[in-house]
């Protein structure tokens, strides 16, 4: 399986999808428009896909891996996740909570907490890890699941996975 983010700028995720975006793409002080993803060579045996976007470089800043986006039960025949799908959900997948919803920030009522919240590194370049999993079943998850629930649920069901590092300027 292969994944690609077509809108990169000199090796960095395009500013439109980060804290450097225009005011119209900011919600509650954070970037809100998700980037497009191209997906190719998915196993014929796959029933669904799952998507995660996390920031390991956040660990020294906040003490944990920041979760920006998780989605489950994306149709396995999806070859293109369109821009802003994290908010609009055009493929009808199940949306998981990102780190805004956790007890530390307690922003579960924020419309950005369920789905995509864009990269906003406070300092230095951060590498955001995009992973797409090809799975052999539809997952028993509903909207509002957590990252750890996704990781536990996919055990034994991953046919393939692809990972892409997306650097973002501070």
Tokens of 91: 């493929």
Tokens of 40: 């190719």
- % of the chain exceeding 70 in pLDDT: 100
**How confident is the model at residue 104, as a pLDDT?**
74
106 pLDDT higher than 80? no
E strand or H helix that includes residue 95: strand 94-95
Question: What is the pLDDT of the chain when averaged over all its residues?
Answer: 93
Tokens of 128: 């955001």
Cβ burial of 133 (10 Å; 0-12, 13-18, 19+) is: buried
More confident position, 1 or 62: 1
- % of the chain exceeding 90 in pLDDT: 77
**How confident is the model at residue 107, as a pLDDT?**
76
Give 111's Cβ-side CA count (13 Å radius): 11
**How confident is the model at residue 123, as a pLDDT?**
82
Q: Where are the domains of the chain?
A: 2-168
Q: Is 66 helix (H, G, I), strand (E, B) or coil?
A: strand
Cα gap 59→63, rounded to integer Å: 4
Instruction: Please tell me the CATH code under which domain 2-168 is placed.
Output: 3.90.280.10
Q: Report yes or no: 72 and 93 within 8 Å, Cβ to Cβ.
A: yes
């Amino acid at each position: 399986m292969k994944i690609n983010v077509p809108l990169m700028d000199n090796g960095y995720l395009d500013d439109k999808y980060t804290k450097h975006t225009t005011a119209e793409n900011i919600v509650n002080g954070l970037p809100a428009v998700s980037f497009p993803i191209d997906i190719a060579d998915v196993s014929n045996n796959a029933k669904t896909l799952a998507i995660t976007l996390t920031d390991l470089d956040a660990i020294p800043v906040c003490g944990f891996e920041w979760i920006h986006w998780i989605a489950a039960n994306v149709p396995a025949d999806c070859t293109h996740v369109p821009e802003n799908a994290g908010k609009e959900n055009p493929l009808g997948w199940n949306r998981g909570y990102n780190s805004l919803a956790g007890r530390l920030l307690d922003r579960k009522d924020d419309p950005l907490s369920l789905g995509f919240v864009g990269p906003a590194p406070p300092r230095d370049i951060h590498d955001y890890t995009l992973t797409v999993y090809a799975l052999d079943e539809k997952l028993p998850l509903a909207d509002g699941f957590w990252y750890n629930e996704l990781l536990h649920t996919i055990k034994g069901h991953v046919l393939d996975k692809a990972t892409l590092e997306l650097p973002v300027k501070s």
